[in-house]
Structure 1
C-alpha cells in the first residue's frame, strides 16, 4: 500500500509540472507574437527605396554602318607594246614611281625607221608624178579649147593629174603611219603611278597582239575602297529616310585594317552603283581615301564604318538602365505617376558609346531609373526618386539605436558609480 501511494503522489507532481510548463510556454508565445507585430509595423512604416533617374530628351543619333570592303587602285593601266619587235632596253626600276609619258622600254626601231624612210621616198615620187600630170593637163586645156587635140585627150590628162594628187595623199598617210610605228618603238608610261615588276626582259620578242602586258602601273594616291552592302539593308535605309525624324548624312568613312588598327585618315563615299550583284545580292559603294604613305594596297581587305543617316528623334539611354527579358526584348524602368515604378518595352538595336540608342517606346520627359536597380524593384513599387549621382547618406537605423542604447547604458553605469 505504501509503495502504491508513493507512485500516485509522484504522478500527480509530474502532471503539475507539465501544466506549469505549458502555461509558461503559452505566455512566452504571446509575448513573441506581440514583438513580431511590433517589428512588422516598424518595417512597414519605413521610407520607400531611393532610386536615381535621368530625364530623357530627344537627341541626334547617328546610324553607323560597318561593312567589309576591299581596296582598289584609283587608276590602273597595263603597259602594252603597239608594234612587234625585240626589246632592246628597259628604262625604269621595278617598283618605282613613273610619270605619264616617261619612256619605259625600247623596241628595236631599225625596221620601222627603214619603213618611214621608204614612205618618205614614195611621197617624193608621188609628188613628182603629180607635178608632171598637172603640167600636162594645163597644156592640154587651151589646145582642147581650139580643138587642136581631142577633148578626150584633155579629159584623160586631167584625170591623171587628179590621180597623182590622190597618190600623194596616200603616200603621205603611209609616211605618217610609218612615223607613228617608229615612235611606238619607245613604249611610254600611260599614267603616273607605281610600276610593278617587268614581265618581259631585254631580248624578248613582243607583239601588239599578245595577251600579257609588259608591266602594270597603279596610281595609289588617292585610292578607292569598294564596300559591299546588302540590297535589303539599303532598301530599308531608303524607306527609313522617307519618314520623319531621319535625315541623310554626309558619309565620312573610317577604316579598320586587317590587323585591327584604325587607318588614321577619313574618306568620302563617291557613289553607289545602280545595280545589284545577282550572285551576292549586294550593292557596291565606292569610297575615296588619301593614301600618301602607300599604306593601303590594292586587294587588301578592310572594315569600313560610316554614317548613312541621322535620327533626330532618338534617345540615348545609359546601358545600365536597359535590361533584356527572356524573349530578348529590351526593357527599362521609369518613374511613373505617384512615384511608382513602370516597366516599358523599348527598341534598342544599337549602341553609341556608353548608351543604347532607343528609337521606340519612350517619350520626352520620361524619368529613366539608372541607379538603385535590383531584383526587389518591381513595377508598381513606390520609390523616392532623386537625380542620378546625387549624394546619399547611408546610416542603418539599427546601428543608430544600438549606439544610443550603449551611450545610455554607459551614462547609467557612470551615475551609479558616482552614487
Structure 2
C-alpha cells in the first residue's frame, strides 16, 4: 500500500478533464516503454450532456476530495483513493507514477489548454490501461509455463532498468529512494510491470492467432485505395567533391574585398579542374575526393549515401539538382555554385516509381491484420468491462486529478484561484 499524501482540493484548472476519460479504453500504450512509444490519439469525450455536465461541475468545484467520498467498501485491503476492479485495487500512484515525469515536463512547458488536453489523453489512457490489465490478467496467468515465466522475468528486468536509466540516471539507489517515498518495494514494481507485459503478450498472441488471413481481393482493394502511399520519389547515391571559395581567400587581405574573393574563386576553380583531370586519368573518385575535397564527407571519399528527390538544399542545391540529371556511374563537369565548386558522381540511381502490388502485399497484409487485431482487442475488452464490477470510479477520477502536477500558467486561468 502506498504512503498517503496530504489531501488537496480538486484543482479547478481542469474543468473538462474528467468527462473525457470515458472514451479512452484501449490497451495500446505502456508508459514503461519510454520515448520510443507514443501515446494514443486523444480520447473521445463522453457524449451524454447530463453526464458531462455533472462531471464538469464536479471537476470545477474546489471542494475537498475526502468530503465528497461515498461509503467505502469494507475491508482492510481498500486504500485511500483506490479504484476497485473485480475486487482488485488500483491506486492513484499506480496511475501517476509511471507518467509523472512526463506530466511534470508538460506542466512546465505547455500553456493551459494544451496541457489540459495532454493530461486528459495520457492520464485517461493510463487509467484504462490498468483497468484492462486487471480484467485480462486472470486469463493471461493461465498461459504461464516455465519457459514463458523465464522470458517474462527477463523482460520485466529490462523494462525496469530502462526506466532507471531514463529517469534516474541509471542509479538503482535513486530509484529505490523514489519507491520508498511511494511506500513501494522493488517486488511491487516487478509485480506491476510483470502484469503489464504478460497481458500485452497474451492479447497479442491470442488475437493474432484468431485473425484470418486477408484475401487477395482485400489486399488489392487496400492497395488501390492507398496508392499514393506506395509512390516512391527518385533517389540516387551521391558522391561529392567540394572546393569552397572561402577556404582559399588570402588571410592577409580583407576577406570582403572583391579582388581577394575573385582571386580565391580562380584558385578554387583551378583546384576543381585538377581534381577532374585526375578522375579522367583513371584515379578513383574516392581517392580524388580524399585528396582535394574540403567537404563534410571528404574522409569518406565524398560518399553521402542515398538521397531522395528533390534533394539537398542551401549551397548543395545545385550539385543535388545535377545529380538527378545523371545516370548511374556518371561523373559531372565542374559545377560552379557561387561559393563552392563541385564535382558530382552518381552511384545507384532509382527513378520515381510506384511499388508494385506484389511487392506491397506483405506490408498490406500486416497492416490489415494489425487493424483487425485492434478491433478484436477493443471488442474483447468491452465484453470484459460489461461484466466487471468497478467501484468508486467517480471519486477515483477526482483523486487522480487532485494529484496531477499543476500547469505553470495556472494563475492565468480564470477561476484558478477558486474565486469567481
Q: TM-score range by the shorter chain?
A: under 0.3
**Structure whose residues are more often helix by fraction:** 2
Compute the TM-score of the two structures, normalised by the length of structure 2.
0.19
Q: Which structure has greater strand proportion?
A: 1
